């Protein structure tokens, strides 16, 4: 029946749009933390959106764990949401096995993060036994076990996240060698930062030495929100809030040496602020050398796969392939206009294929639609290629 307008005026009619909704970008900055606290549930992922919410749930900071300090630094530096898993004893003491946890019969330790939603970053702040102090500072004596470092990186890779890691306990950046980082896997889904930082401590009258990973995760979250996941979280605009200085001074030749070791250096600027001065992953593969490149690809993979979930009940024919191409191209074009890709035109910035050249008759019969995506992340028309698979209805 046609619309009937019986009086003058402006009339609005919402017309539903056919087809699936557009691809929605996933949040790349939700950060998972695992560590010791004096309150809160054990081995359960709890979402917190502020330092105050963390303190009410988990009891704030304790001298027996870096967790509270790391989460506080995270929110100070622009973090918006954290998923926290409390492990260890009731006083905040944590051992390697507490963090490692288990998958079954119920997820514990770092595996408890797996039942939360998408994570962009994973942080395991240093931990250790109570009563051990270095220079009178208990936090400075805490570290992370080699097995936990490997587990954190492996977990992050499976979740398409990045493990933000602290340099080894007691590292002297002036004499660091590859042997100092032997426990840190060669992985594009991990980034290491050195040296440790200093700052005011609400529990002590003097500054304490603590791990920078929480503050850096907050900086990454802030950069993602203001500039995009494709912007390197480093440079003159990458100052860490709430940080007073560095445990050890770092100069230009030491920064260069750390870079060669695939470690991101922190440095003190002329105004006294502490800057992040590197954006390298742990990978030796040149394709995945830079953190924003790897994180952008992970962001694209997760966003597009989620956005194409609707294809599971659709017949895998030319019509579906054309709709998928159009959806992905629309998503990439929005990112191109936001500055995610290199190039003066869309043709230089990205390319999408989803047709008979990517999907064989055997794929159609098995309910698979392969999408080939190229994005120019470092230079125009030099594409990093992603191959994603959407599930479709199985051919009769």
Amino acid 131: pLDDT: 44
CATH number of 308-391: 3.30.360
Amino acid 91: pLDDT: 86
pLDDT tens digit string along 293-303?
999 999 999 99
pLDDT tens digit string along 303-328?
999 999 999 999 999 999 999 999 99
Q: Which value, to the nearest 10 degrees, does the dihedral of the CA atoms of residues 87, 90, 93, 94 take? A: -20
| 141-146 average pLDDT score | 90
393 has a pLDDT exceeding 70 = yes
pLDDT tens digit string along 373-386?
999 999 999 999 99
272 and 178 in contact (C-beta within 8 Å)?
Answer: no
Q: Give dist(CA 184, CA 250) in Å, integer.
A: 21
CATH number of 31-293: 3.40.50.11780
* pLDDT bracket for residue 5 (50, 70, 90): low
Shortest CA distance to 342 belongs to which of 373, 374, 379?
Answer: 379
Q: Give dist(CA 166, CA 170) in Å, integer.
A: 11
Of residues 64 and 330, more confidence is placed in 330
What are the residue ranges spanned by the domains of the chain?
Answer: 31-293, 308-391
pLDDT tens digit string along 249-298?
899 999 999 999 999 999 999 999 999 999 999 999 999 999 999 999 99
190 and 153 in contact (C-beta within 8 Å)?
Answer: yes
**Packing angle, helices 318-338 and 291-307, rounded to 10:** 140
Q: Give dist(CA 294, CA 209) in Å, integer.
A: 30
Amino acid 16: pLDDT: 53
Mean pLDDT of the chain: 92
Amino acid 55: pLDDT: 97
For residue 242, is it left (φ>0), alpha (ψ between -120 and 50) or beta? Answer: left
Q: Cα dist. 3→6, 12, 14, 15, 231 in Å?
A: 10, 11, 13, 13, 50
């Amino acid at each position: 029946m046609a619309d009937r307008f019986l009086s003058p005026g402006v009339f609005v009619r919402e017309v539903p749009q056919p087809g699936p909704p557009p691809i929605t970008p996933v949040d790349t900055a939700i950060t998972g933390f695992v560590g010791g606290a004096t309150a809160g549930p054990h081995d359960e992922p709890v979402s917190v959106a502020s330092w105050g919410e963390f303190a009410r749930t988990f009891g704030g900071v304790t001298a027996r764990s870096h967790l509270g300090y790391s989460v506080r630094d995270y929110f100070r530096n622009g973090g918006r949401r954290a998923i926290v898993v409390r492990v260890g004893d009731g006083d905040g003491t944590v051992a390697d096995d507490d963090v490692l946890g288990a998958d079954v019969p119920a997820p514990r330790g770092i595996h408890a993060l797996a039942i939360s939603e998408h994570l962009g970053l994973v942080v395991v702040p240093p931990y250790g036994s109570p009563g051990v102090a270095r220079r009178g500072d208990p936090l400075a004596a805490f570290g992370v076990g080699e097995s936990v470092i490997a587990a954190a990186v492996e977990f992050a890779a499976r979740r398409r996240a990045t493990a933000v890691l602290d340099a080894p306990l007691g590292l002297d950046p002036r004499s660091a060698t590859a042997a100092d980082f032997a426990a840190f896997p060669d992985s594009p889904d991990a980034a290491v930062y050195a040296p440790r930082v200093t700052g005011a401590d609400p529990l002590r009258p003097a500054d304490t030495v603590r791990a920078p990973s929480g503050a850096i995760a907050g900086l990454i979250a802030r950069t993602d929100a203001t500039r995009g996941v494709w912007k390197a979280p480093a440079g003159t605009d990458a100052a860490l809030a709430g940080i007073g200085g560095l445990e050890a001074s770092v100069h230009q030749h030491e920064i260069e040496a750390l870079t060669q070791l695939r470690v991101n250096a922190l440095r003190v600027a002329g105004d006294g602020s502490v800057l992040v001065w590197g954006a390298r992953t742990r990978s030796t593969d040149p394709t995945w050398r830079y953190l924003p490149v790897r994180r952008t690809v992970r962001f694209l993979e997760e966003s597009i796969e989620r956005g194409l979930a609707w294809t599971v009940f659709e017949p895998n024919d030319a019509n579906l392939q054309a709709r998928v191409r159009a959806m992905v191209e629309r998503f990439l074009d929005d990112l191109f206009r936001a500055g995610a890709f290199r190039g003066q035109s869309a043709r230089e910035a990205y390319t999408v294929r989803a047709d008979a050249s990517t999907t064989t008759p055997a794929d159609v019969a098995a309910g698979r639609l392969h999408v080939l995506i190229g994005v120019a992340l470092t230079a125009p028309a030099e594409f990093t290629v992603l191959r994603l698979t959407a599930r479709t209805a199985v051919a009769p």
